[in-house]
Chain A
Amino acid sequence: MSFIEVTGLRKIYRLGQEKVYALKNINLKIERGEICCILGTSGSGKSTLLNMLAGLEKPTRGDIIINGVNIAKLSERKLARFRQENTGFVFQSYNLIPQLSSLENVGMPLMFKGWSRRKRDREAKKMLAAVGLKSRMKHRPNQMSGGQQQRVGIARAFVAKPNVVFADEPTGNLDTKTTADVMELMVKMCREHNLTLILVTHDLDIAKYADRIVHLIDGDIHSDELNKAVYDPFTEKDGDKSRQPAS
């Protein structure tokens, strides 16, 4: 059984009389450790699919089984517990809490898990060091650049050691140079811990980091293929199939 199995997934939004088929019939299997890119034009249903994989929205029809659990059928509380234990999130607009320092922002998922302040600060510090923001621990989000904020966001997504990380256009607000930095960081972290990453983008440049590219058009999978030429930033050359980053 694959790590993520999606069968017959459909999502219909009702706008008065009108029905919007955001997702028509999605069948998808994603393996553990895979970096999967969901590619598509605006309005093709990428975000809808991601949100449903993350259990933020209930499908109209179909099953989503992650790690053997059908998350479409979980209660609100069990879903929260599932997110605590399995998922991390990276958002396009970072979504850090403005009043909290980066350290506190990174520690938040651990706080919801019921960790003590001391334990989560220790973990958050490690994470911030790993994303290269050791010197920005006491800073608030508005005291940092977009790239720095997104790195805090990445630290937050990975701090609780999730099984899968969801990222919806994580570089949508960043310039090209920073985009590369951020993508490399995410890929590196996933590879290090053999995590599954589901990446939503409309940018082919970003898709090149993925092992696999799922192309969505109008709520249906148009193509689903392995990336023949995974761009591995750590060997600094295209086409290297080796997934072990050089340390």
Chain B
Amino acid sequence: MKLFDMIIMCLRNLWRRKGRTLLTVIGVIIGCCAIIVMISLGQGMNAAMDNMLASWGDLNAITIYGNSRYIWVGDGNSNSEDKPKLDEEALEMMKNLDHVETVFPKIEVDSNYVTVTAGKNGRYKANWIEIYGVDFSALKKMGYVPEQGDYPSGDDTLHTLVFGNEAAYQFRDSKKRGQNSYTYKQMLPDGTWSEPFFDPMTESVQIYINNTKKPNDDGTYQSGGRAYEFKMTTAAVLEQDNDWQTVYSLMIDMDFAREIINSYNRLNNVKDATEPEFSQIKLWVDDINNVDAVETILSDLGYNTSSMASQRKSMQGQLGVVQMVLGCLAAISLLVAAIGITNTMIMSIYERTREIGIMKVLGCFISNIRVVFLMEAGMIGLLGGAIGTVISFIISAVMNTLGNDTFANMFGIYTDGSSPISIIPIWLVLLALAFSTVIGLISGFYPANRAVKISALEAIRNE
């Protein structure tokens, strides 16, 4: 028998019992819609999650924390003694790792070490401001954008400052008392932002190293003396960005940061002071899919690492559970549809017993009969899958336009409100079509086997 003839025969048989075929197909449509819509919701959740994570930070980045006592990452009871050092050697190693594109080390100057003043006679004071030693030449590459001024450049940037967007608001006005001596960034009634006490771009700024041996009554410190005071030039104030560390802090040259730490140790007679290590190194990996591999290498070496990718993984795990539950519900409806197909096919065998018998007597190969039956079942699946896919697109569009909130709340679905809650990628369409066809074929397997076992004699016996 020619394939074409088998297809015609299959279609004719389906058409012969239009009503029943239609009902069976509807079963598959419902199952298929359920699966596509559920998975599309999962896709929407993933996209929303990625959006959210991207707004928190760079998905390609890994941050390695040093052994600073202020950072508690990891298991908490790990002793800093047995942690690997985050020094130049480590930096070099990381730079040479596969897939690592950029490294951005930072040295954190303990906020206890220095006091920053601005204005005439040091009127404005920041006692506990964070200061980071960085590689100025990498600022642009890191995505820091100046709001005022420009990236530090030139030969001598040792005493150059870059203000985080809200760093200037950390300064107190020492001529005022109480509440009035503080300020913070806020939206004013006319829609503009409040100003800090001084303009960091024009006002002169000094850093002095604290003499922590003799604290003032209010817990602040006096300067260690003229040798420990530095006049700074401000190169830029950065735009608001999502790096929570630098928004409130100052950036200085890496070498200057080391100098400050060493000077502090000298001034305050710190015993067994060691060469300052990096407090943090940020790595950029070429592809988001390689983040995990690189992070694993580093954490296996004992470093404290953190990345959006690893957060993403754990969140994906949680979302995965939700998606699994939804998927199982959908799978049940497809299972019901599959049983429907089997049922339909068995009924049609009873009706066609005689026809099958005649076919056998006239010399039809058993394999042909089997193929025709499987085709019919597969066709019901494919048809249901195709129509189901179209309907799923409609449902998806309706859900996306009718508003995220209603549906999201209804199903307890995570959404960030900006990305569509239901996304149907092309692979899902292909998967749905293939899946429903395969379901059809599987459902048709048993009936097809029964069909070929029909005894020709039994079938053509005179009634």
Q: Please determine whether A76 and B358 come into contact, CB atoms closer than 8 angstroms.
A: no
Query: A116 CA to B2 CA in the complex, in Å?
Result: 7
B17 to chain A minimum Cβ distance, whole angstroms, is 11
> How many positions in chain A have a CB within 8 Å of any CB in the partner chain?
33
B141 within 8 A of A: no
Task: Verify B354–A84 contact, CB threshold 8 A.
Answer: no
CA A38 to CA B362, docked complex, whole Å: 22
B259 within 8 A of A: no
Cα distance, A27 to B194, chains bound together (Å): 117
Closest to B367 in A: A77
Q: How far is the CA of A99 from the CA of B460 in the complex (A)?
A: 17
Using a CB-CB cutoff of 8 Å, which residues 173-222 of chain B contact chain A? none
Contact B354 A80 (CB under 8 A): no
Once A51-B457, A76-B366 are accepted as A-B contacts, the answer to whether A114 and B1 lie under 8 Å apart by CB is yes
Number of A-B pairs, beta carbon distance below 8 Å: 64
* B362 x A89 contact (CB < 8 A): yes
Contact with B460, one of A82, A95, A156, A160 (Cβ below 8 angstroms): A95
Q: In the bound complex, do residue B358 and residue A95 qualify as a contact, i.e. CB atoms below 8 Å apart? A: yes
Q: Is the CB of A95 within 8 A of B1?
A: no
Stretch from A17-25, A104-112, A144-152, A219-227 that touches the partner: A104-112
What 1/0 mask marks residues of chain A from 82 to 110 whose CB sits below 8 Å from any chain B CB? 11110101011101010100000000110
Interface size on B, residues (CB 8 A): 24
A113 within 8 A of B: yes
Pick the residue among B12, B16, B364 that contacts A80 (CB under 8 A). Answer: B364
Given A77-B367, A117-B5, does the pair A112, B362 have CB atoms closer than 8 Å? yes
Which chain B residues (355-370) contact chain A, with CB distance < 8 Å? Answer: 355, 358-368
Q: Is the CB of B363 within 8 A of A109?
A: yes
Chain B residues closer than 8 Å to A115, beta-carbon distance: 2
Chain A CB within 8 A of B462 CB:
yes
Partner of B361, one of A56, A93, A99: A56
Q: Mark B4-24, 1 if CB is under 8 A from A, else 0.
A: 110000001000100000000
| Cross-chain contact B457 with A77 (CB below 8 angstroms) | no
Asked, given contacts A80-B360, A80-B365, A99-B16, whether A57 binds B354 with beta carbons under 8 Å apart, the answer is no
Q: Inside 8 A of A76's CB, which chain B residues have their CB?
A: 366
Would you list which residues of chain B between 338 and 392 have a CB under 8 Å from chain A?
354-355, 358-368
Question: Residues 65-96 of chain B: 1 if any A CB is under 8 Å from the residue's CB, otherwise 0?
Answer: 00000000000000000000000000000000
Distance of B276 from chain A, by nearest CB (Å): 85
Residues of A contacting B462 in the complex (Cβ-Cβ under 8 angstroms): 91-93, 169, 172
Q: How far does the alpha carbon of A91 sit from the alpha carbon of B462 in the complex, in Å? A: 9
On whether the beta carbons of A81 and B363 are closer than 8 Å, the reply is: yes
A54 within 8 A of partner (CB): yes
| Assembly CA distance A84 to B1 (angstroms) | 11
A93 to B5, CA, bound (A): 26
CA gap between A194 and B360 in the complex, in Å = 26
Interface status of B272 (Cβ within 8 A of chain A): no
Chain A CB within 8 A of B456 CB: yes
Q: How far is the CB of A120 from chain B (nearest CB, A)?
A: 9
- CB neighbours (8 Å) of A91 from chain B are 460, 462
B365 touches A97 (CB 8 A): no
- Per the bound structure, the CA–CA distance linking A80 and B368 in Å amounts to 11
- Closest-by-CB residue of A relative to B4 is A117
Taking a contact as CB atoms closer than 8 A, the residue among A57, A99, A109 that contacts B362 in the complex is A109
Which of A80, A91, A114, A160 has the most B CB atoms < 10 Å from its CB? A80
Contact status A114-B361, CB under 8 Å: no
**With A95-B354, A97-B355, A99-B16 in contact, is A83–B463 under 8 Å at CB?**
no
Contacts beyond the supplied A89-B362, A99-B12, A109-B363: 4 A-B pairs with Cβ under 8 Å: A87-B363, A93-B462, A93-B463, A112-B359
For the complex of A and B, the 9 pairs showing the least CB-CB separation, nearest first, are A84-B363, A83-B363, A112-B364, A109-B362, A112-B363, A80-B365, A95-B358, A56-B457, A80-B363
Query: Chain A residues in contact with chain B, CB under 8 A?
Result: 51, 54, 56-57, 76-77, 80-85, 87, 89, 91-93, 95, 97, 99, 108-109, 111-117, 156, 160, 169, 172
Tell me the B residues contacting A by CB distance below 8 Å: 1-2, 4-5, 12, 16, 354-355, 358-368, 456-457, 460, 462-463
Some 6 contacts from A to B, beta carbons below 8 A apart, are A51-B457, A80-B365, A91-B462, A95-B358, A111-B1, A111-B2
